[in-house]
């Protein structure tokens, strides 16, 4: 199970970092579905990994990060 949690954490890191790189290079916009989904899934991976390791501040941060992503995706969908 430890290997799976580490893999989930690393996949989350790749997604969040990849989303930031795409945004910073102008390949996606901050309000694009791709950017928001990458952040949402990536932060969910961080939640699983950091909860497993007992890093509560990081868990809370990433729950908020997910909430922002969900709210933004909801706003995009309503447009």
Torsion angle, CA of 14/16/18/20, rounded to 10 degrees? -150
pLDDT digits (tens, 9 = 90+) for 10-40: 999 999 999 999 999 999 999 999 999 999 9
Which structural domain range is residue 44 located in?
A: 2-78
pTM of the model: 0.90
Using alpha carbons, select from 1, 5, 2, 35 the residue that is nearest to residue 20.
Answer: 35
Question: What does the DSSP assignment read for 32-59?
Answer: -HHHHHHHHHHHHHHHHHHHHHT-HHHH
End-to-end CA distance of the chain: 41
Total of domains in the chain: 1
Q: Average pLDDT for residues 54-74, to the nearest whole number?
A: 96
């Amino acid at each position: 199970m430890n290997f799976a949690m580490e893999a989930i954490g690393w996949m989350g890191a790749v997604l969040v970092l990849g989303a930031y790189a795409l945004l910073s290079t102008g390949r996606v916009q901050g309000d694009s579905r791709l950017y928001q989904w990458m952040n949402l899934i990536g932060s969910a991976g961080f939640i699983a990994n950091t909860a497993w390791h007992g890093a509560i501040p990081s868990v809370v941060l990433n729950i908020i990060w997910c909430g922002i992503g969900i709210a933004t995706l909801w706003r995009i969908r309503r447009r």
